[in-house]
Chain A
Amino acid sequence: GQNIDQPTEMTATEGAIVQINCTYQTSGFNGLFWYQQHAGEAPTFLSYNVLDGLEEKGRFSSFLSRSKGYSYLLLKELQMKDSASYLCAPMDSNYQLIWGAGTKLIIKP
């Protein structure tokens, strides 16, 4: 079956760094997406990894290891507005995104 495993909730301090881990199992693989979703809003695209390694985009970086079925999202210089849910969504062989429940990130001052 297809499965995604992320921590349910994480707490971090403003200005700090946090890493959100994701392990996945899919039928085939065509890359992995990270989305941010604020409460009551639709997801917004953060990153897409299809090859192994680290992709850096400003304060956010995403890492992928296909052999381990593992990805992480790294958020630096945390701001209060980063409080949101972060969704790891691998794409299967049918180019279908597989969604988990996401990680709720709480930023404290």
Chain B
Amino acid sequence: GAVVSQHPSWVICKSGTSVKIECRSLDFQATTMFWYRQFPKQSLMLMATSNEGSKATYEQGVEKDKFLINHASLTLSTLTVTSAHPEDSSFYICSARAGRVGIHEQYFGPGTRLTVT
């Protein structure tokens, strides 16, 4: 149980274009989803937290107009990187939390490797 999928697993796009990444919880309802970014040999950096049906909460320094997050249902959240630039190239990982009382584990998707040329 507790499987989280991400699509696509990798994407290459040209500078200036937009890329959408999907995150799905396959066998549980995720009231909260998290989006992380990880550069090589660095720690996970939380970008934003999203609760189903409400606006995402962005971490300091993360541009909400550039990284659009939609958590439209209890099993799906999307991250859209708008007008991508080479410095946005990174490993983007989502995680989901079930939201049941006393259950705090975050289950991670397999990640999406974005390369902007």
**A interface residues with partner B (beta carbon < 8 Å):** 30-31, 33, 35, 40-45, 48, 87, 91, 95-97, 99-102
Contact = CB atoms under 8 A, between A and B. Distances in A.
Contacts of A101: 41-43
Interface residues of B, number: 18
A102 B43 contact: yes
B104 A100 contact: no
Contacts of A97: 46, 106
Interface centre among B42, B43, B44, B93 (most CB of A within 10 A): B44
Interface of B: 41-46, 49, 91, 93, 104-111, 113
Contacts of B49: 96
A42 B110 contact: yes
Given A42-B93, A100-B43, A101-B42, A31 B108 contact: no
Contacts of B46: 96-97, 99
Given A99-B44, A101-B42, A102-B43, A41 B104 contact: no
11 contacts: A31-B104, A40-B113, A41-B110, A41-B111, A43-B108, A44-B108, A45-B106, A48-B105, A96-B49, A101-B42, A102-B43
